[in-house]
Chains A and B, each alone.
Chain A
Amino acid sequence: MDDWKPSPLIKPFGARKKRSWYLTWKYKLTNQRALRRFCQTGAVVFLLVTVIVNIKLILDTRRAISEANEDPEPEQDYDEVLGRLEPPRRRGSGPRRVLDVEVYSSRSKVYVAVDGTTVLEDEAREQGRGIHVIVLNQATGHVMAKRVFDTYSPHEDEAMVLFLNMVAPGRVLICTVKDEGSFHLKDTAKALLRSLGSQAGPALGWRDTWAFVGRKGGPVLGEKHSKSPALSSWGDPVLLKTDVPLSSAEEAECHWADTELNRRRRRFCSKVEGYGSVCSCKDPTPIEFSPDPLPDNKVLKVPVAVIAGNRPNYLYRMLRSLLSAQGVSPQMITVFIDGYYEEPMDVVALFGLRGIQHTPISIKNARVSQHYKASLTATFNLFPEAKFAVVLEEDLDIAVDFFSFLSQSIHLLEEDDSLYCISAWNDQGYEHTAEDPALLYRVETMPGLGWVLRRSLYKEELEPKWPTPEKLWDWDMWMRMPEQRRGRECIIPDVSRSYHFGIVGLNMNGYFHEAYFKKHKFNTVPGVQLRNVDSLKKEAYEVEVHRLLSEAEVLDHSKNPCEDSFLPDTEGHTYVAFIRMEKDDDFTTWTQLAKCLHIWDLDVRGNHRGLWRLFRKKNRFLVSEEATLSHPNFLGATPKGGGSPRSCRTDMRPPPGPRGAGPGSESNLFIDCPEGLENRPNLEGLDFFLGWNAALRVGLAFTQETAVPNPWTGPDGAHMLTQTHSDTLRHWTRPPLSILFVQISKAG
């Protein structure tokens, strides 16, 4: 028996032994007794083997287990420490099938509550007038869109019609009126309300209150209305309480093919409304564009930072144009959202881009500039190898050849230290003043609105002294200050590669946009080959400018520069006009001229050493400071005596006096040329528009003239600053129409 004691290595052993067992067994088969004994022994051996194998298995399993949790501590390294306190999902007895909705409409307050949660509440004075519209998802009850249309004012009803038409059928619509919503509610809008099944909407009268809940293209779920008894009073407040039955999720969604893109689309479309055909069930617009790649793209690896706030519709439009631009690389794009807004994040996710949210710091301009700082720092952190970054804003259209433009010019930023930036925007490039998409300029002012920033400039110069949160400065104005710019210049195209479409914003409103941005020229031609890019380098450019000036024809300065006939009706000529500048920074005459030309006149933009380059009637038009006349040709061309072209020069400077005495001093401007009619906002209008950046402008005047290093610390400065600002705000909300037409008095 002892011989049979199996070793632990039973497996290979057993296999071999079996054969000899068989032989022994065969041999002993004849002997009953021996057989019986043998069977007994065999059984015992088998039992033993089983026991041993069992033990081995147990031991092995044990070891495997103990190996797996040998020391439990390091195991915790892999455990998420946070997030253990995940709240248990609150879900009562299955999904709810009914929403209870409360809608309140009155003179001074509106609110909407869904299942007891307030989704809209507006009781601010003098705000939120008109029809508030809320769209709910019919399956989940989530708020998908929230809009207010001030149908007291003209054209807002058109926007409302546009919006309501975009809403997908089946959605739950909630409307409520605050204050007044009927004055400019025109027939088209009323017809639309009727088609939604509303009784009172189409008949909405002066200062009526109205609350409405309905399904788009389906039944009305509740409506209340109260007529205003008299012109001077409002209808009684109405409170509408109604139940909205929810439909199933399948009904609420479209049946798009199951692709990665459509999954993004579905996520987006089940959350938000008001983006038109991107959520159309039948024929949705694409969300991937795959524009042509650029041959030899030098900006393929340049990160693109899109600076955004809470204007998701703008962001949507902007990203569409950006992603359609040739040579774009989506993985280089980061969208920085100022605040924890969901909808812009949804837009970013729709396009499959990277989005980063930023907790707002400070207020107004300072908030924007802190957001810029965080975004730029993050961009260079996320792309540590990048030498440049493209900075865009959410209210820009991007030209199809934006990246091609940058790819052709970016080497300048590397090779020329005297450059501050490359910008896609020409401040003076309006429809009537820009012509040549292949032409570039050098300018002393930083235009922003789609530009390239050099890492070294940001990291070594700007970031360390970026305005701190308590300073209500505009980042761009700060960047334009001589302390930052240090005489460097920016490269810009004649025809802008970006278009500023935003009409709501911190520094922006409809009037301002109409006057200064709407008529901006925007390149739509793909693949423009830029001309003579290397002539933009510092020295080469001076040569080029000199050549231009020397071959330019001097305009007849006795004519009124504000009149169309100031430039002859020719094509392809180069003309020059001279203006007087007492000092390098005396731009009064230029500003007046800019006003006439209907270009940017709110501050000086687009100059290069006292020279502005524009197009007029397809001619090159140079505006140059007298002092730059060093060329003999010019002396001949402009005799000094009376009756010379310059006896009536475009001298539009105010009589000598203290500058910076306040905005009022601007009203002394005069022009000593035949009168020109102005139909652009100026004088008071100018002062009014100066509110756009008033804070920094005052600051600039201070730093330049008194050379006080920090004008903000003094109590006086601070006081003045806030004063100006609040004034400005008041102006903004109610612009007096009368100031839009001001005549320049004739002096002399």
Chain B
Amino acid sequence: MSRINKNVVLALLTLTSSAFLLFQLYYYKHYLSTKNGAGLSKSKGSRIGFDSTQWRAVKKFIMLTSSQNVPVFLIDPLVLELINKNFEQVKNTSQGSISQCTFFCVPRDFTAFALQYHLWKNEEGWFRIAENMGFQCLKIESKDPRLDGIDSLSGTEIPLHYICKLATHAIHLVVFHERSGNYLWHGHLRLKEHIDRKFVPFRKLQFGRYPGAFDRPELQQVTVDGLEVLIPKDPMHFVEEIPHSRFIECRYKEARAFFQVRDNQMCTCKLKKIAKELLQLAAKTLNKLGVPFWLSSGTCLGWYRQCNIIPYSKDVDLGIFIQDYKSDIILAFQDAGLPLKHKFGKVEDSLELSFQGKDDVKLDIFFFYEETDHMWNGGTQAKTGKKFKYLFPKFTLCWTEFVDMKVHVPCETLEYIEANYGKTWKIPVKMWDWKRSPPNVQPNGIWPISEWDEVIQLY
């Protein structure tokens, strides 16, 4: 009896559990197929993978943009890398028929496109049509940073990001705005209170965690998986820019407050203009050499404190990592009309270059050496051969806009400036002793006399 009972119970259990199991297997299969559906359906049929959600979403999106004249180009790093690797294929398939979906069908959550806002004409109807086509769209707007630098202007908000979802794949349309300094800027993707946090996995977005700045890319038309798209002419250059594209805005509000406290001393304009031109020339020269640099010392302080060149400063200061040093820097500057004024130290230790600009304004280039927990640059007193060391906490580089240029500054600007100028950096000091005033200076011995000829060169 008990045996039979046991059997009955077991049979019942088996029945229910098999029902469950079937249901779960079905569910599990469904789950897997959405996750990497493309991978599973590979290698059968002649047009492989063209039914993947990714491809369909991209195709629909491209149809939409071409019919509505939305000026977009592809910036998705994953796809661009693939395109770059198989560039021949992209070129060849433009005539022949395509048999395999190799680029747009790779499993991923998003495909990123850039929208060239300044070329865009009919902003209005677009959204509605996208929704009619089956996209679910999200628009992220914010105020226009280009107006921030100007006293008390407030404009219509500008679009920064669009995210359009079709089934499980989403198109991330990053709006690129033109900025002074011939670069493209995109904004920070901030979700407003009422926006559904689960709309898409926002964390996986490639763009938008920070504002970003990019060189304006030249574009080319290619056919990728049977779809006509614009991509940057040098896709790898663009992809390489992405991780270092973080952009920080000058603190215009604080700068205005600074000027309100200290009355805006009118015009040492001429000096300011010379310094500005010197900086622009230096930036041009270094960019041509491909040497990354950042605003350092006084110039950096000027940017951070007043979003401008400090009117009474008589030099422009730049920082360069010593590993980026190239011996033709000096020559390049000389060709640009900036003769070398002095050279202190050597590549292995405390290198510092100084070039003579117009009207006694000089360009100082400090080379930075990296240690495990800090960075430093060196200084040398010409008369005594004494060496100094200026210590900085470790920093990374961010883009910013300064005197109509896109330039680097340390992302951790405040730490950088406080190391150099102390907590009282907000108070202008006109008499600055570079050997004694900085809180981060420490003596670093003395150059052996035998080396003086090499490490102290005055012109």
Which A residues fall within an 8 A CB radius of B?
A: 11, 14, 36, 39-40, 42-44, 46-47, 49-50, 53-54, 56-57, 60, 67-68, 70, 74-75, 77-81, 83-84, 86, 260, 329, 331, 336, 352, 354-359, 361, 370, 374, 377-378, 380-385, 459, 464-465, 468
Q: Mark B97-131, 1 if CB is under 8 A from A, else 0.
A: 00000000000000000000010110111001000
Partner of B180, one of A78, A260, A381: A381
Residue from B14, B178, B179 having most chain A Cβ neighbours under 10 A: B14
Q: How far is the CA of A468 from the CA of B190 in the complex (A)?
A: 37
Partner of A374, one of B13, B29, B150, B201: B150
- Nearest Cβ on chain B to A75's Cβ, whole angstroms: 6
Instruction: Decide if B17 touches A46 in the complex (CB within 8 Å).
Output: yes
* Also in contact, A78 and B178, with CB within 8 A (given A39-B10, A378-B146): no
Instruction: Decide if B20 touches A361 in the complex (CB within 8 Å).
Output: no
Instruction: Decide if A49 touches B21 in the complex (CB within 8 Å).
Output: yes
Asked if B267 CB lies within 8 Å of chain A CBs, one says yes
Q: How far is the CA of A83 from the CA of B186 in the complex (A)?
A: 22
Q: What would be 27 A-B contacts, judged by CB atoms less than 8 Å apart?
A: A39-B7, A40-B7, A43-B10, A43-B13, A46-B14, A50-B17, A68-B201, A68-B203, A75-B202, A78-B208, A78-B209, A80-B193, A86-B193, A260-B128, A336-B153, A355-B156, A356-B147, A359-B152, A374-B151, A377-B149, A378-B153, A381-B179, A381-B180, A382-B144, A382-B146, A384-B178, A464-B269
Asked if B11 CB lies within 8 Å of chain A CBs, one says yes
Asked if B45 CB lies within 8 Å of chain A CBs, one says no
Give 13 new A-B contacts, CB below 8 A, not counting A40-B6, A53-B28, A385-B118.
A40-B7, A43-B11, A44-B10, A53-B24, A56-B28, A75-B203, A80-B191, A331-B123, A374-B152, A378-B147, A381-B180, A382-B147, A384-B182
Q: How far is the CA of A81 from the CA of B193 in the complex (A)?
A: 9
Q: How far is the CA of A380 from the CA of B147 in the complex (A)?
A: 10
Which chain A positions have C-beta within 8 A of B24? 50, 53-54, 57
Instruction: Decide if A381 touches B124 in the complex (CB within 8 Å).
Output: no
Asked if B181 CB lies within 8 Å of chain A CBs, one says yes
Partner of B179, one of A36, A329, A378, A384: A384
Instruction: Decide if B146 touches A381 in the complex (CB within 8 Å).
Output: yes
Instruction: Decide if A381 touches B118 in the complex (CB within 8 Å).
Output: no
Q: Mark B295-320, 1 if CB is under 8 A from A, else 0.
A: 00000000000000000000000000
Instruction: Decide if A465 touches B181 in the complex (CB within 8 Å).
Output: no
Asked if B92 CB lies within 8 Å of chain A CBs, one says no
By Cβ-Cβ distance, the 10 closest A-B pairs, closest first, are A359-B152, A356-B155, A43-B14, A384-B180, A43-B10, A50-B17, A381-B146, A80-B192, A80-B190, A78-B191
Asked if B25 CB lies within 8 Å of chain A CBs, one says yes
Asked if B31 CB lies within 8 Å of chain A CBs, one says yes
Asked if B154 CB lies within 8 Å of chain A CBs, one says yes
Which chain B positions have C-beta within 8 A of A382? 144, 146-147
Asked if B168 CB lies within 8 Å of chain A CBs, one says no
Q: How far is the CA of A331 from the CA of B147 in the complex (A)?
A: 17
- Nearest Cβ on chain A to B369's Cβ, whole angstroms: 31
Which B residues fall within an 8 A CB radius of A?
A: 6-7, 10-11, 13-14, 17-18, 20-21, 24-25, 27-29, 31, 118, 120-121, 123-125, 128, 144, 146-147, 149-156, 178-182, 188-193, 198, 201-203, 208-210, 264, 266-267, 269, 273, 404
Instruction: Decide if B149 touches A40 in the complex (CB within 8 Å).
Output: no
Which chain A positions have C-beta within 8 A of B264? 468
Q: How far is the CA of A457 from the CA of B144 in the complex (A)?
A: 25
Count of A-B contacts judged by CB separation below 8 Å: 147
Which chain A positions have C-beta within 8 A of B153? 336, 356-359, 374, 378
Partner of B155, one of A40, A49, A86, A357: A357
What is the predominant secondary structure among interface residues of chain A facing chain B? helix
B124: nearest chain-A partner, CB-CB: A260
Q: How far is the CA of A361 from the CA of B147 in the complex (A)?
A: 16
* Also in contact, A331 and B121, with CB within 8 A (given A382-B144, A465-B267): yes
Q: How far is the CA of A30 from the CA of B24 in the complex (A)?
A: 33
- Nearest Cβ on chain B to A426's Cβ, whole angstroms: 32
Instruction: Decide if B192 touches A78 in the complex (CB within 8 Å).
Output: no
Which chain A positions have C-beta within 8 A of B179? 381, 384
A70: nearest chain-B partner, CB-CB: B203
Q: How far is the CA of A370 from the CA of B153 in the complex (A)?
A: 11
A464: nearest chain-B partner, CB-CB: B269
Partner of B192, one of A36, A67, A83: A83
Instruction: Decide if B149 touches A381 in the complex (CB within 8 Å).
Output: yes
Q: How far is the CA of A54 from the CA of B28 in the complex (A)?
A: 10
Instruction: Decide if B21 touches A11 in the complex (CB within 8 Å).
Output: no
Which chain A positions have C-beta within 8 A of B21? 46, 49-50, 53
Q: How far is the CA of A260 from the CA of B132 in the complex (A)?
A: 14
Residue from A43, A44, A67, A79 having most chain B Cβ neighbours under 10 A: A43
Instruction: Decide if B155 touches A57 in the complex (CB within 8 Å).
Output: no
Partner of B181, one of A57, A77, A384: A384
Instruction: Decide if B193 touches A84 in the complex (CB within 8 Å).
Output: yes
Q: How far is the CA of A42 from the CA of B18 in the complex (A)?
A: 11
Which chain A positions have C-beta within 8 A of B28? 11, 53, 56-57
Which chain B positions have C-beta within 8 A of A336? 153
Which chain A positions have C-beta within 8 A of B7? 36, 39-40
- Nearest Cβ on chain A to B161's Cβ, whole angstroms: 10
Which chain B positions have C-beta within 8 A of A370? 151
Partner of A356, one of B118, B156, B181: B156
A49: nearest chain-B partner, CB-CB: B21
